[in-house]
Amino acid sequence: MSRSGRDSERRVKTAKGRTASSTRWLERQLNDPYVKQAKADGYRSRAAYKLLELDEKFALLKGVQRVVDLGIAPGGWSQVVRKIAPRAAIVGIDLLPTEPIEGVTIFEMDFMDDAAPQALEDALEGTPDLVLSDMAANTVGHKQTDHLRTMGLVEAGAWFAIETLAPNGSFVAKVLAGGTDAELLTLLKKHFRTVKHAKPPASRKGSSEWYVVAQGFKGRS
Ligand SMILES: C[S@@+](CC[C@H](N)C(=O)[O-])C[C@H]1O[C@@H](n2cnc3c(N)ncnc32)[C@H](O)[C@@H]1O
């Protein structure tokens, strides 16, 4: 999406009861071209553009038949999958409720729950060829703790992908820059033919998030 033609910046007065950080968040939302575009395009999240941009670069959604969306809420990524691969079966999971999306099976459940992987596999009625993870743990404001918590989710997502994907399948996950990334890369490189990092333009420059894109699953040994 073009960032040109930006409307003039909107400032938000610090209202009673609103903290400085929530004022900054609101200001950023109001001035964010992706938020405006998402409203215009009918996407539930600005995150939808991250997947669209990743797909443009890596052709992730080309020919996919079964897709798992980890951390589905509010549903932007699944909306994108529906649009680009309308015939694909999609199963999503989130701790938070997600408004229904036609053609998508949604579990309101913790992915770290022991029963979650089987529930997803059963609902898909076959092996996925794409596992997406946009999961992020709630931040506590301590950089290293936040990093470790989100990387724990990513690692669980990676193992789920390795244990369920069809040969040649793909795994895409949001990662946070810092400490444990090297271990994840080693694991993925062992099981996928190509492993790349990307920061789609829709990902805010100031955030430490990146996406890891692993393609060409070598199959379960
Ligand atoms: C950035 S949002 C996902 C946005 C989504 N891709 C979209 O386009 O609408 C991250 C989601 O991960 C979910 N999440 C975090 N930990 C989770 C867990 N253990 N199990 C399931 N979902 C989780 C959060 O509840 C949150 O909704």
Domains in the chain, start-ordered, CATH in brackets? 12-41 (no CATH), 48-217 (3.40.50.150)
Helix 116-124 × helix 143-164 angle, to 10°: 40
pLDDT at position 16, please?
A: 64
Tokens standing for residue 99 = 């408004």
* Mutation test residue for ligand 1: of 69, 94, 160, 176, the one with most atoms within 8 Å of CB: 94
What's the whole-model pTM score? Answer: 0.89
Ligand-binding annotation for 77, yes or no, is: yes
> Is residue 174 annotated as part of the catalytic site, yes or no?
yes
pLDDT at position 145, please?
A: 84
Question: What's the CA gap between 172 and 30, in Å, rounded?
Answer: 29
- Chain length of the chain: 221
75 contacts 98 by C-beta, under 8 angstroms: yes
Question: What's the CA gap between 139 and 46, in Å, rounded?
Answer: 19
CA-closest residue to ligand 1 atom 24: 71
Give the amino acid at 136. Answer: A
pLDDT at position 3, please?
A: 42
According to DSSP, residue 174 is labeled E
pLDDT at position 14, please?
A: 61
Kindly give the distance from the C-alpha atom of residue 135 to the centroid of ligand 1, in angstroms, as a whole number: 4
Q: Are strands 104-108 and 89-94 parallel, antiparallel or unpaired?
A: parallel
Kindly give the distance from the C-alpha atom of residue 75 to the centroid of ligand 1, in angstroms, as a whole number: 9
Question: What's the CA gap between 158 and 66, in Å, rounded?
Answer: 17
pLDDT at position 4, please?
A: 42
Q: Which of 174, 189, 205, 218 is catalytic?
A: 174
Tokens standing for residue 195 = 């492993």
pLDDT in single tens digits along all 221 residues of the chain: 544 444 456 666 666 666 766 776 667 766 788 999 999 999 999 999 999 999 999 999 999 999 999 999 999 999 999 999 999 999 999 999 999 999 999 999 999 999 999 999 999 999 999 999 999 888 888 878 878 888 899 999 999 999 999 999 999 999 987 655 788 999 999 999 999 999 999 998 888 889 999 999 999 87
Ligand-binding annotation for 94, yes or no, is: yes
Task: Tell how far CA 85 is from the center of its chain.
Answer: 17
Ligand-binding annotation for 110, yes or no, is: yes
